[in-house]
Each structure stands twice: as C-alpha cells, then as structure tokens.
Amino acid sequence: MSTQEPTPFARDLAPSTTPQCVVLVGTLDTLSTFAPQFAFAAGLTKPIGCFLLDPPSPHGAALPPSICGIPILGSLDSLATVHRSRPVSLALVCLSAAQTEHRQLVARVLRDLSINRRDVVSLRDVLNLPATNRQGGVDWSTLIGRVPHTLDEQAVSRVLHNKRVLITGAGGSIGGELALLAASFQPESLILVERSENALFEIDRKVARLFPNLKREAVLLDVVHAQHTHRLFSHHRPHAVFHAAAHKHVPLMEDHPAQAMHNNVSGTMNVAEAAIDCGAERFVLISSDKAVRPSSVMGATKRLAEILVQSLGEKASQRGCRLCAVRFGNVLGSACSVLPIWSAQLAEGGPLTVTDPRMTRYFMTINEAATLVIQASAFDSVPSAPPIFVLDMGQPVRILDLAQRFLRMQGYTPTFQDAAAHQPSPGTIEIVFTGARPGEKLDELLSYELETLAHTSHPGIRALTVESPPTHIEADLIRQALGTISFDTPRQEILDCLRRLIPEMTTPVAHESVAHTDQTPIDTLPFKAKAA
C-alpha cells in the first residue's frame, strides 16, 4: 500500500534544505484564529511575521506587537520593503470568504512581488458559518458592519497560561468559543463542564483535534446540583472560572420559569461559591443585556445572577478571588440564533421570518464576544463591589435590515409579498413578519439609568459604576426565594416572586403585527449601523 501524499499546505511548510521565509497576510480578526495553530504544528516552518490589511484605528490605538508570538511587521504596503531585505518565498493568506476585495488586493501585490501564495480557510468561517450557498460563506463581521476588537495577549496570558481553566456550559456557542480561545494560551489544564452529553462530546472532540497536547477533562455535570459542583471544584481547584452555563431562550423560559430560576440563578450561585471556596483566582459570569429592565423570565434571572455575584464581593476579596460579570447583547451565529435559522430557511427556499420590522438588537460575533469576555477576566483592579463589564456593542441593528443584508450577501433580492398569496419571482426570497414572542422587547438596553459606563484599559470594554451596589439583604431575599421554588411551583407564583425581587421588571407592550409592503430595499451595502 502506498504512503499517503502530504497535503500541498504541509509540503509548503515542511522543513527543507533551502531555508524558507514564510509570512502571514490577513486582518487582526482572521489571523487571531489562524496564527495559534503554529504553536501546535510540529515540524512546520514558523512564519517570520504578519502583514495586516486592517485600516488604521480612528482613535489612534496602537497595534499589538504580535499575534500568538508571531510579530506584526506592518501593513501590506510594508511587504515590499521586507521582501527586498529578506526575500519571502511563501505568503499564507488568511481571509474570510466574504472579503473579496481584500483577496484581490493581496493577489495583485503578491503577483507583482513574485511571492508564492496559499489561501487558507479562516478558522472563523469553519467554526461560525452554519451554512453556505452558491455564493460562498458570509463573514458575520461584514454583515453587521463591525470591526472586531482584539485581545491584549500579554494581559490574558497572565490569567490563562499554565493555569487550570474551568468553563461551564462549555458545549454552548459562547462556552465552546471560550474553550478554544483559552486552549490557545496553553493552560495547565482545561476542564469542560456541560450537562448536554452530545454538546460535551463535540467540544471535547474539537479541542482534542486542535490542541492534541493539551491536558483536558470533559465533565458531564449539571451545576444546579450544589454538592456535585463543589466536589468537582475541590478536586480540580481551577484558577480561572468562566460561567457560561445558562438557559437563554426567552420564549421557552416564559413557559418554564422554574427551570430558568434553578439553572440561571441557583447554578450561578453554586458555581460562584464553589470558585471562591476552592481558591480560584478569577470568576466571570456571562450575563446579558436582557438583564437591564428585564421584561422576560430569562432577563430577570440573569439580573438576579448579577446581584448574587456582586453580593459575594466581600467574601471573594477575603479569599483573593476576583469576581465580575460581563454583559453583552446578541451573538451572531450562535446555536438557535437568527442567522442559523435564516440559513436553514434559505436552504428550504424561504421565506425568512422576522418578528417585528421595528425590532432592534445589539450584535457581535461569537469570536469577538468570547475574546472580550476573556479580556475582561484579565483586569486586576479589585473595586469595592465585583464589577459588571459591558462590551462595546456598537449601535443597535434593526433585525429587518439584517435580514435584507443577509439575503443580498447570499445573492438574493428580498421581497415583502405575502407568501401565501403570491408566487415568488426567481432570485427573490420573501420576508414575512410573525409578531413578537412572549417576553420580547422591541429594543434592549445595556445599562440602567443610575449606572454610568466608565472607560477601562481596553477600548472594547466599559465598566458599570452604580450609586448603590447590591446589599446582603437583597442577596438573602433571592436565596430565600430560591428555597421556596420547586419544579411544581405554579408559573404565576414564580412571576410574582420575580417582580417582588426585581421591582423594575416590566411587561412587554403587546404590539400588533406590522405589515411591510414596500418592495424597495431599506438599505444597501456597505452598511452603516442605525441608532434605535
């Protein structure tokens, strides 16, 4: 039997008698997912540096000196100068499928310099794209008109490198991305905690494939069980804990408030207390913009989780544990979110569904959300109360605009005909309105009126300052309420309890379905975000 031929990519980077000079070309965003792979690819030639296509920062923010140990040598314009002093034999181009203009520019520059080129599929495309069509993949950052923030790798490395890192909800979208990012910083070990067997199997398999030398453990556990959770933490004694486990689907939690209370509130309390008791250095709660003036059970339970974490500040500081919560909006491409749903609807020929043409949301990509969560964990200051950090979500985006942009990037023209009464024209996909679901608001907020957003050392993260942080009395009331709620507790009793604990909890205004018959596209690319 003949030996299998190495892939062209491996042949290009395999050591040879002639020294090679390899460079990477891409954006900060795309290279941040590709460059870490060289740390775990034995026998391949390491690139001498990276060349970026990112535009200069409008705020004058300095670029990081390197990406995962590979120095940034400058913009693409600098490549010719470097090539003259040290001839480059191969350029690995890491750009997403949607970055057509960037690809054409790079191809022209490399051709003029007679530098060999290899296109590398962006890891972002592989991990985040639920579907592609005849026009190729969609870059989510382009879809929302957003330049993602990047990591301060030196600060994050102090938190994760050679540390034991534990992630709850590791099989979810955010938890899984946190696991992959944490793994790239070479922790001592990675503990993946998840109650879904299939989800745990998949993330464990993915981490094993990408980081085969990393010590890891997949733990099938429900953090609602306090005793089991404390036993797990006592055994592994993690240094850094990222609590991503939660029920997140707003309409479902309206029908199952007891499950939301136990998972989102009791689970948070169990994990936070276990982290403190086992001597963890840092604990991070993944929160949501739906916790601000909540109109839903999901949002209310997230707000209670924030209050509980803040109430543990004194106990945590005595044990040397830094607690924080990170609040952000919707994540593009996450499981069961709008883009995977639209992708499935498009694959079936449409129509695409939008709840209400007036509805807006804050959006960022999975990778950027996980990046900034990990960045928030690296802040070393210890305020009087555990802080709540708010990610820079940009401007809210109208869901209807997003749906139209999504269709155009896939090569279709959006229409607003009644799907039941009209036959769609070739090349068009209909958008129909289904009405807001229970618990949903037209718009979300990122902070309360009495909260102000202060700058931190990272441009993508703000810190909330509050006039009066939560008291132990509030936390005790939450604990007492949890003790009275079982899975048999009537739904209305739980809703009444939530409103007593969170007086600002609102009831979403019932809004009628609004028809849209105008066939004129609302916006065209390139996209400029609209304020609510």
Assess whether 206 carries a catalytic annotation.
no
Catalytic residue among 290, 302, 315, 441: 290
Cα three-residue angle 158-163-168, rounded to 5 degrees: 110
Distance CA(208)–CA(205), nearest Å, equals 5
Distance CA(172)–CA(196), nearest Å, equals 9
Three-state SS at 323: strand
Retrieve residue 319's tokens: 């044990």
Residue-wise DSSP of 90-110: EEEEEE-TT-HHHHHHHHHHH
Inter-residue contact 440 to 508 (CB < 8 Å): yes
Distance CA(408)–CA(403), nearest Å, equals 9
Within 171-296, where are the H helices? 173-183, 197-210, 226-236, 250-255, 257-260, 267-277
Q: How far is CA 138 from CA 180, 268, 358, 427, 485, in A?
A: 21, 35, 24, 18, 44
Q: Which of 281, 515, 509 has its CA nearest to residue 377?
A: 281
Q: Is 106 exposed, middle or buried (0-12, 13-18, 19+ CB in 10 A)?
A: buried
Beta strands 282-286 and 240-243 are: parallel
Distance CA(21)–CA(173), nearest Å, equals 37
Inter-residue contact 224 to 262 (CB < 8 Å): yes
Q: Which of 128, 32, 97 has its CA nearest to residue 334?
A: 128
Distance CA(97)–CA(55), nearest Å, equals 19
Three-state SS at 351: coil
Angle between helices 366-376 and 153-160 (to 10 degrees): 70
Inter-residue contact 320 to 279 (CB < 8 Å): yes
Give kind and range of the element (H or E) at residue 24: strand 22-26
Distance CA(171)–CA(175), nearest Å, equals 6
Q: Which residues are catalytic?
A: 290
